[in-house]
Homo-oligomer: A and B are copies of this chain.
Amino acid sequence: MRKEKLEELKGYLEELKTIRKKQVEVDSSKKFLQSAVYDFTLSNGRTIRREQLIKGTNNGSAVIVMPVLKNGEILTIIEPRVFTELGVGVGFPAGYVEKGEESSAAALRELREETGYVPEEIIELASFYQDEGCSSAFNRIYLGLNCRKMYDQDLDESEIVSYMTFTYDELLELVNLGYIKGCNSLLALEKAKTYIKK
């Protein structure tokens, strides 16, 4: 790992740490995370009760993009991850697919909004249910090739995102250091392996 990269990363992580946490009462109908209960009768005659997690008005399907630059380095984002032990995390640009939006369009939009980068080409690496037992959320991981910085960051009011580039091997080090800990990020790293120039 290049020493100056690790220093820069630690700076961002420090800035995004939680120093105070306060529970807020919100009208429960206004929550983003909702659930619904159903009884399902199966073709073998049995009935089972299952609870469904509902995220927002869409079904919570998300896209993840691993953006590779022309020099082979990979663009990562650093974000507050307030429910994790560290409180911050390193990962890849990602977000929810909007109603009526194509997944690949959502991937390009999230990459652009969070970093201002645009790829020449994107490749789908994997698709899967995020939490098969209780949700319909269906995610897709993309690889973005030959990404270039073309715009300013364009974040929602509640988003705080820093970004940095690392080599693939440095990202594996960040996994070992405990900075990359999300399921989708780990799967992206595995699936991208064969595409990354060493």
| A interface with B by C-beta (< 8 Å) | 14-26, 28, 31-44, 46, 48-53, 55, 80-84, 89, 91, 126-136, 139, 158, 160, 181-184, 186-187, 190-191
Using Cβ atoms and an 8 Å threshold, which residues of chain B touch A190?
187, 190-191
Complex CA distance for A51 and B39, rounded to whole angstroms: 27
Given A129-B181, A129-B182, 20 further pairs, Cβ under 8 A: A16-B43, A19-B41, A20-B41, A22-B40, A24-B38, A24-B39, A28-B28, A40-B80, A46-B160, A50-B80, A52-B83, A55-B134, A81-B133, A83-B133, A83-B135, A83-B136, A89-B132, A128-B182, A132-B184, A139-B183
Contact check, A22 vs B39: say whether CB atoms are below 8 A apart: yes
State the oligomeric state as a number of copies.
Answer: 2
| Shortest CB distance A89–B (Å) | 6
27 contacts between A and B (CB under 8 A): A15-B44, A16-B43, A17-B43, A22-B39, A22-B41, A32-B35, A34-B35, A40-B82, A42-B80, A42-B160, A44-B160, A46-B160, A48-B160, A50-B80, A52-B83, A81-B133, A83-B134, A84-B132, A84-B136, A126-B186, A127-B181, A128-B181, A129-B181, A129-B182, A130-B130, A130-B131, A183-B184
| Given A128-B183, A183-B132, A183-B139, also A31-B42 (CB < 8 A) | no
Contact check, B183 vs A48: say whether CB atoms are below 8 A apart: no
For A94, give the chain B residue with the smallest CB separation. B133
Contact check, A183 vs B131: say whether CB atoms are below 8 A apart: yes
Contact check, B15 vs A42: say whether CB atoms are below 8 A apart: yes
Contact check, B41 vs A18: say whether CB atoms are below 8 A apart: yes
| Shortest CB distance A86–B (Å) | 10
Contact of A37 among B31, B80, B89, B131 (CB under 8 A): B31
| Given A15-B42, A33-B51, A43-B19, also A84-B129 (CB < 8 A) | yes
Contact check, A31 vs B51: say whether CB atoms are below 8 A apart: yes
